[in-house]
Structure 1
Amino acid sequence: MALLKDIIQWCDQTLKSHEFKDYAPNGLQIEGKAEVKKILCAVTASQDAIDAAIAQHADLLLVHHGYFWKGEPYPITGMRGKRIKALIQNDISLVGYHLPLDSHPTLGNNAEIARILELENIEALDPSERNPIGNIGYLKNAMSPEAFKNFVSEKLHFDAIHLPSEKTTIQKVGFCTGGAQDFIGKAATMNCDAYISGEVSERTFYEAKELDVHYYACGHHATERYGVQRLGQAIAEKFDIKYSYFELNNPI
């Protein structure tokens, strides 16, 4: 058993959440029990994830995508109201870390993507960032664009969408998980052969062609299911409590 406040303090310090300008609050979003015996992790605080937390008698729901996003309406009604009501009625805390969990060099989503894809010599996609949100890595052996599509699809368990450029081989790869398709311009500036993110936009097709950077959309959910698991495991080991992961395979 651990105190909620101690878990939040450790997460905030470990992830350096105060150093990020984010689109939603990082850390404790809804306060539940003061004592935590079990954590459930999920990518998004959906109703399914909340129902799983209730069913598993979790005290804390740890997510990458929480609530109170910039630009959202203030009233807690409708779908969001139902979710928050369920958390409060069951005394379950909601804790979310967004950009800090993308960026962290060992626990983050990008760090795990680098490991899974066996990328080496990791560096910042944007060298001006204090805590880089995106990264660059190098394949040990160059691949054809088609072979790389098959490789990332197999490794990330997602049928990647490939938007081609004219380059015939891929070795230098930029990547940033989730909805970071517009960072393809940064990848071009850094002379990447390919760029990976989760989502794709209509404009990305033309950008890949004109910037001469192969783009691979590998799924918002598929690229971001790692950080919460790594963080949940780290919390469990630090505080000697239980954790589990809820997977709802979102195809987007």
Structure 2
Amino acid sequence: MRRSELQDYLNELLDVERIRDYCPNGLQVEGRDEIQTIVTGVTASQALLDQAVVLQADAVLVHHGYFWKSEPAVIVGMKQRRIKTLLQADINLFAYHLPLDVHSDLGNNAQLAKLFGWGTPQPLHTADPLGVVMGSTLLDPMSSVELAQHIEQCLQRPLTVRIDCDQPIRRIAWCSGGGQSYIDHAAAAGFDAFLSGEISEQTTHSAREQGVAYFAAGHHATERYGIRALGEHLAQRFGLTHHFIDIENPA
């Protein structure tokens, strides 16, 4: 398919015009016009781009791309080498950040619900219509230890941090990646547990003092599933060749 067709489809599918973000969503680096082979991964790291070159990819789709508001605008050093790799190989780079987090089916939060078997999630409250934070009621209440074991089994990796609570967990809220600050919203809304990718120093105190179980499962670990689901969707819909590459990351 043509690059412009893929770009238009993705922008509409992920509703990028609706979401204010910290980076440009969509095509970030322009490559060849015809796209048949795509590579997906969490971050447009050098390791991912090198694999894409080996696989003769026409486009790379990631959750974490380039040109963040807080980063220097100059293209030097690591950023220069990454972009040079894309330009020399004529590979397109597409990046979707918040639009991929919040998509009701392909998004990171929705995919985590499927992975963990947490039913149909709902936005935490009406003040979060995008679904940055999701919540669900468990079919069977679990202890924090049991829930931690379930999460680790599904993710196939140990939790970064676990903070237990005394009561059975019936309602859990979550936000993939760096969503740890939403723990207070989850506690205020009456949830028994909260999961995010990262943890901050103050998260521990919030969990302990409000009696909320907390699980830090890794930024990378909680954001592998949306981009892979997006690639699989594109492969099925348009007959594209898709390779998901999970670059190992302990974070």
TM-score by length of 1: 0.96
Per-residue CA shift, 1:60-93, capped at 9, x if unaligned? 0000000011111010001111101110111001
State yes or no: 1:210 paired with 2:212.
Answer: no
Q: CA deviation at 1:121?
A: 4.4
Q: Distance in 2 between matches of 1:190 and 1:125?
A: 8
User: Residue 37 of structure 1 corresponds to which residue in structure 2?
Assistant: 36
Kept after mapping to 2: 8 A contact 1:158/1:219: no
Q: CA deviation at 1:14?
A: 0.6
SS in 1 for 2:214: strand
Kept after mapping to 1: 8 A contact 2:145/2:164: no
Distance 1:126 1:240, change over 3 A: same
User: Residue 25 of structure 2 corresponds to which residue in structure 1?
Assistant: 26
Q: Which runs of 5+ in 2 are unaligned?
A: none
Per-residue CA shift, 1:189-230, capped at 9, x if unaligned? 211100011011111111111222111001111111011111
User: Residue 163 of structure 2 corresponds to which residue in structure 1?
Assistant: 163
Kept after mapping to 2: 8 A contact 1:29/1:96: yes
Structure 1 outlier segments of 4+, above 6 Å: none
Q: Distance in 2 between matches of 1:31 and 1:211?
A: 48
User: Residue 114 of structure 2 corresponds to which residue in structure 1?
Assistant: 115
Structure 2 letter corresponding to 1:162: R
RMSD across aligned positions (CA): 1.1
Structure 2 letter corresponding to 1:176: C
Which deviates further from its counterpart, 212-221 or 129-138? 129-138
User: Residue 145 of structure 1 corresponds to which residue in structure 2?
Assistant: 144
Structure 1 letter corresponding to 2:239: D
Q: Distance in 1 between matches of 2:240 and 2:115?
A: 27
Kept after mapping to 2: 8 A contact 1:110/1:177: yes
Kept after mapping to 2: 8 A contact 1:121/1:138: no
Kept after mapping to 1: 8 A contact 2:43/2:65: yes
Q: Distance in 1 between matches of 2:193 and 2:225?
A: 22
Kept after mapping to 2: 8 A contact 1:157/1:222: no
Q: Distance in 2 between matches of 1:234 and 1:245?
A: 12
Q: Distance in 1 between matches of 2:80 and 2:168?
A: 49
User: Residue 179 of structure 2 corresponds to which residue in structure 1?
Assistant: 180
SS in 1 for 2:150: helix
User: Residue 13 of structure 2 corresponds to which residue in structure 1?
Assistant: 14
Q: Which runs of 5+ in 1 are unaligned?
A: none
Q: Distance in 1 between matches of 2:15 and 2:138?
A: 29
Per-residue CA shift, 1:77-116, capped at 9, x if unaligned? 0111110111011100110001111111111111111011
Kept after mapping to 1: 8 A contact 2:194/2:212: yes
Q: Distance in 2 between matches of 1:203 and 1:26?
A: 31
Q: Distance in 2 between matches of 1:61 and 1:179?
A: 23
Aligned residues: 250
SS in 2 for 1:209: helix
SS in 2 for 1:8: helix
User: Residue 197 of structure 2 corresponds to which residue in structure 1?
Assistant: 198
Q: Distance in 1 between matches of 2:216 and 2:43?
A: 19
Q: Distance in 2 between matches of 1:143 and 1:235?
A: 37
Q: CA deviation at 1:185?
A: 1.1
TM-score by length of 2: 0.97
User: Residue 249 of structure 2 corresponds to which residue in structure 1?
Assistant: 250
Q: Distance in 1 between matches of 2:56 and 2:125?
A: 42
Q: Distance in 1 between matches of 2:156 and 2:19?
A: 30
User: Residue 61 of structure 1 corresponds to which residue in structure 2?
Assistant: 60
- Give me the identity figure in percent: 39
